[in-house]
Amino acid sequence: MKRTRIAVLSSIFALAACSVSTFAADTKSSDAPPPKIKVGDTAPDFKLLDQNFKTVSLSDFKGKKNVALAFYVFAFTGG
Amino acid sequence: MQNFQANLKRLEAADTQVLGISIDSPPSNGAWAKQINVDFPLLSDMDHKVLTAYGLNKEYDIKGAKILAARRMNYLIDKDGKVVEMQVDNDAVDPSKVVDVCERKKLKE
């Protein structure tokens, strides 16, 4: 009985250790360099194709609209 | 991107255009946009030109393979082309701060 309990406990600790290391990998970016473009800077212009092969430039919106520019890691992932 | 789509009406009402951007190809972005019902532009920076200009290249380890892709980041850029708000890394998953700032900006105008 006691041995079972120890086995259970140690597997819980092993799981906890695993999740801690995953967490560390996720937050590793906290020691990434500070972003190059910051609040107050002029956003560099660009011209890129969207999903319908239409060209979109940041400058298309100048004087007309604010732009929320969202950089994401990969399509088919969360966020 | 799903979080931006969920807030799209509020962002549009506050004069804000949403643009997603990654290193995916246009067909890949198109398939994903269809799957998650996103109807704002998802832009393709396959040659990393824009990622480099913004300093947002980040190396990811995908099952042992090193892949360079975008660091997660939201910028709110005003009508003069200036950055007025930013959210980086895990903070960038929830865009509500960006939504709040454009709504407040709209009230001020």
Residue of B10, B96, B74, B62 whose CA lies nearest to A76: B62
Q: What is the Cα–Cα distance from B17 to A50, expressed in whole angstroms?
A: 14
* B92/A contact by beta carbon, under 8 A: yes
Q: Mean pLDDT of all residues in chain B?
A: 92
Contact partners, residue A32, CB within 8 Å, separation at least 6: B58, B71, B89
pLDDT tens, position by position, A19-74 = 444 444 444 444 577 889 999 999 999 999 999 999 999 999 999 999 999 999 99
B12 in contact with A, Cβ within 8 Å: no
A71, B76: Cβ pair inside 8 Å? no
For residue B43, pLDDT beyond 60: yes
Encoded tokens for B83: 């950055």
Q: pLDDT category, A13, cuts 50, 70, 90?
A: low
Q: Tokens 């998953």 — which residue?
A: B93
* Domain boundaries defined on chain A: 2-61
Q: What value of ipTM does the predicted structure carry?
A: 0.92
Class of domain B2-93: alpha beta
Task: Tell me the pTM.
Answer: 0.80
Quick one: which of A52, A64, A48 has its CA closest to B16?
A64
